[in-house]
A and B are shown apart, each in its own frame.
Chain A
Amino acid sequence: MANTKIDGKKLKELKKLSAEARHAMVEALIAAGCGHPGGAFSSIDVLIALYFEILKIDPKNPKWNERDYFILSKGHSSVALYTALALRGFFDKEILKTFRQDNSILSGHPDMHKVPGVEMSTGSLGHGLSVGVGLALAAKLDKKKHKIYVMMGDGETQEGSIWEAAMSAAHYKLDNLIGIVDRNKIQIDGFTEDIMTLEPYKEKWSAFGWEVKEINGHDMEEIVTTLKNVPFKPGKPSLIISNTIKGKGLSFMENKAEWHGKAVKDEYAESARAEACKLLKECGCYD
């Protein structure tokens, strides 16, 4: 097994980056006056782990031939992806404040031809996993060692095309493909289990031939050690159910369906700023 340990210093650094990312996302969402905050705040810890500890990438050479690929199939959480990319150095952090504004490169859903580091244009749910299957197949054909990571929303997996893709990934034995489901248990119209039952969720993925692990998607140590341990089984695609809280980090937003796509403005803007600053202080950013 690969060395999956992470030292204390690195862990602290990643936690600090998560706080910085939440602060930057609050500012971007306030500047935009619209967007999808809930799923961005639930998925950002995993994104930070990916972009700062897991993915083999080069911000100075985004099209580097041997790089790992990350596809955000839940494209509505674009602000989280943009923030991770900007913090990692793919583009200037100031650009985040142009999110969803006229002539910005940062659309509500990411465009691969506009944003450095975005591997695939996404937004319509249920498309990303198939693209990941294609990339993983190509890597196998070319005998390349890089990995392909696809993050889905849990509500997104109500799309039938996800299960077509899941079936094919197992069929082609794509152990270079890692699916991550941001299981915040909330979709636009309410709780997933009220809208359309997903459970027994782990069993569904297992039955489709994936090796599945569940993690707390806000526990940085657990995120990193799990991601460092892929593939979980040779010859099988890996699936991580990342149990998260929608709106994590902003108390007024946490676990509330209405914050899937609500603007952070007026009284919420000030609360969000205050809470994001508090998070920064807690991890020593102002020390």
Chain B
Amino acid sequence: MTKRSMRIECGKYLAELGTQNKNIIALEGDLKDSTQSVQFGDAHPDRYFEVGVAEQNMVGIAAGLALAGKIPFVHSFACFISMRSCEQVRTTVAYPKLNVKFIVSHGGISTGTAGTTHHAIEDIAILRSIPNMTLLVPGDVTEMRQIVKASLQHYGPVYIRLCAGDVEDVYTNNEQFHIGKATKLRDGDDATIITTGIMMYEGVCASDILKQKYGINARVLQMASIKPIDLDTIKKAATETGKIVTVEEHNIIGGLGGAVCEIVAELGNASVKRMGINDRFSDVGTSSHLMKIEGLTVDEIINNVRSLVKN
């Protein structure tokens, strides 16, 4: 397996798509190297707008471009789009259902030592509660490419949350992402590990170790499509395995775990353990240090699955 930068690959892919589709416009809020929108800007300077440090205006401009039939891709960090320009996202893009795509980088705590101001542990909860919004969190480069393509084929607002660091490839040639569908990465009926974003890799590793070392068959579902969410697959997992562990680089409140619990609580037939950031702002540290503090590791997933299975 190899590690690749989701941001660099996304910038490259969007530039490619921009060659094929002249309606694509990219907007940037003074973070072109961080978001890697610079690659689109270099390839298509006439369709690239650097809006400066003004996220509210950037989202409003995107709405106007979409009204005129363009397909704007808005770039910034997850924290700034989901919070600084939240009302523009909700009222001026989602409410009129405009065809605006948000490519937000540095989701979760992956900016590490940049600190809490630049982390986004609330964005999934915020975006998930906005009607008309599609919310997608890819876990590796292949899934990201499939997601960006799917967002282009879907008319309406889409929020795509990328991570900051390099990520392991998990998708093989067999997986295909669809909006509203989970991707099954491992079979198993003893428990289900549901992941989103980059926790996909830890989920798969945990499942493999659980099988080899403990004889536990843990199904792994990558839920990159947080909204719309795959109700049927979650219900099936609850019914067939009865034990679910959710894993996300997000506050345990309101994110993937919250979404799964809303569904499972209505069914009342499965136990759920939510793994995520435990409703607190982060300490100083690299992303891997912070992930360890929050227990977002292969070992902790294994421990949680084993303890659910024992009970």
The answer to whether A and B come from one shared complex is: yes
Given known A-B contacts A113-B96, A165-B57, A124 and B87 have beta carbons under 8 A apart: yes
Bitwise interface map of B from 44 to 63 toward A, beta carbon under 8 Å scored 1, else 0: 00110101101011111111
**Inter-subunit contact A137/B64 (CB<8 Å):** yes
Task: State the Cβ distance, B2 to closest chain A Cβ, in Å.
Answer: 39
Q: Which residues of B contact A137 (CB under 8 A)?
A: 49, 61, 64-65
**CB interface residues, B 14-60, toward A, < 8 Å:** 25, 46-47, 49, 51-52, 54, 56-60
Q: Determine which of A111, A123, A130 lies in contact with B57 in the assembled complex, contact meaning CB atoms within 8 Å.
A: A130
CB-nearest residue of chain B to A144? B68
**Inter-subunit contact B70/A168 (CB<8 Å):** no
Task: State the Cβ distance, B134 to closest chain A Cβ, in Å.
Answer: 18
Name A's interface SS.
Answer: helix
Given known A-B contacts A138-B69, A141-B47, A127 and B64 have beta carbons under 8 A apart: no
Q: Determine which of B25, B57, B69 lies in contact with A133 in the assembled complex, contact meaning CB atoms within 8 Å.
A: B57
A135 to B64 alpha-carbon distance, docked (Å): 5
**Inter-subunit contact A134/B66 (CB<8 Å):** yes
In the complex, number of A-B residue pairs with CB atoms less than 8 Å apart: 99
**Inter-subunit contact A138/B52 (CB<8 Å):** no
B92 interface residue, CB < 8 Å from A?
yes
**Inter-subunit contact A121/B96 (CB<8 Å):** yes
**Inter-subunit contact B88/A134 (CB<8 Å):** no
A120 interface residue, CB < 8 Å from B?
yes
Please indicate which of the listed interface residues B51, B52, B60, B91 has the most CB atoms of chain A within 10 Å of its own CB.
B60
Q: Which residues of A contact B60 (CB under 8 A)?
A: 127-131, 133-134, 161, 165
B293 interface residue, CB < 8 Å from A?
no
A275 interface residue, CB < 8 Å from B?
no
A112 to B57 alpha-carbon distance, docked (Å): 20
**Inter-subunit contact A136/B97 (CB<8 Å):** no
Please indicate which of the listed interface residues B57, B64, B95 has the most CB atoms of chain A within 10 Å of its own CB.
B64
**Inter-subunit contact B95/A131 (CB<8 Å):** no
Task: State the Cβ distance, B302 to closest chain A Cβ, in Å.
Answer: 47
B67 interface residue, CB < 8 Å from A?
yes
CB-nearest residue of chain A to B91? A124
Q: Determine which of B49, B51, B68 lies in contact with A135 in the assembled complex, contact meaning CB atoms within 8 Å.
A: B68
Q: Which residues of A contact B65 (CB under 8 A)?
A: 134-135, 137-138
**CB interface residues, A 127-153, toward B, < 8 Å:** 127-139, 141-142
Instruction: Indicate the size class of the contact surface on chain A.
Output: 20 to 34
A161 to B88 alpha-carbon distance, docked (Å): 10
Q: Determine which of A111, A123, A127, A168 lies in contact with B52 in the assembled complex, contact meaning CB atoms within 8 Å.
A: A168
**Inter-subunit contact B54/A134 (CB<8 Å):** no
**Inter-subunit contact B59/A120 (CB<8 Å):** no
**Inter-subunit contact B67/A164 (CB<8 Å):** no
Bitwise interface map of B from 62 to 105 toward A, beta carbon under 8 Å scored 1, else 0: 11111111101000000000000001100110011100000000
Q: Which residues of B contact A127 (CB under 8 A)?
A: 60, 87-88, 91-92
**Inter-subunit contact B68/A161 (CB<8 Å):** no
Q: Which residues of A contact B57 (CB under 8 A)?
A: 130, 133, 161, 164-165, 167-168
Q: Which residues of B contact A123 (CB under 8 A)?
A: 91
**Inter-subunit contact B91/A138 (CB<8 Å):** no
A119 to B47 alpha-carbon distance, docked (Å): 23
**Inter-subunit contact B63/A134 (CB<8 Å):** yes
Q: Which residues of A contact B68 (CB under 8 A)?
A: 134-135, 138-139, 142
**CB interface residues, A 71-117, toward B, < 8 Å:** 111-113
CB-nearest residue of chain B to A69? B67
Task: State the Cβ distance, A117 to closest chain B Cβ, in Å.
Answer: 14
CB-nearest residue of chain A to B56? A161
Q: Which residues of B contact A142 (CB under 8 A)?
A: 68
**Inter-subunit contact B46/A141 (CB<8 Å):** yes
Q: Which residues of A contact B95 (CB under 8 A)?
A: 121
**Inter-subunit contact B61/A120 (CB<8 Å):** no
Q: Determine which of A69, A131, A167 lies in contact with B54 in the assembled complex, contact meaning CB atoms within 8 Å.
A: A167
Q: Which residues of B contact A120 (CB under 8 A)?
A: 63, 67, 92, 96
Task: State the Cβ distance, A71 to closest chain B Cβ, in Å.
Answer: 9
Q: Which residues of A contact B91 (CB under 8 A)?
A: 121, 123-124, 127
| 9 additional A-B residue pairs with CB within 8 Å, beyond A131-B61, A160-B56 | A127-B91, A130-B64, A130-B92, A134-B62, A134-B63, A135-B68, A138-B69, A141-B47, A168-B61
26 pairs, A vs B, C-beta closer than 8 Å: A111-B96, A120-B96, A121-B91, A123-B91, A124-B92, A126-B56, A127-B60, A127-B91, A128-B60, A130-B56, A130-B63, A130-B64, A132-B64, A134-B65, A134-B66, A134-B67, A136-B64, A137-B61, A138-B65, A141-B46, A161-B88, A164-B56, A164-B57, A165-B61, A167-B52, A168-B54
B residues whose Cβ falls under 8 Å from a Cβ of A: 25, 46-47, 49, 51-52, 54, 56-70, 72, 87-88, 91-92, 95-97
A residues whose Cβ falls under 8 Å from a Cβ of B: 69, 111-113, 119-121, 123-124, 126-139, 141-142, 160-161, 164-165, 167-168, 172
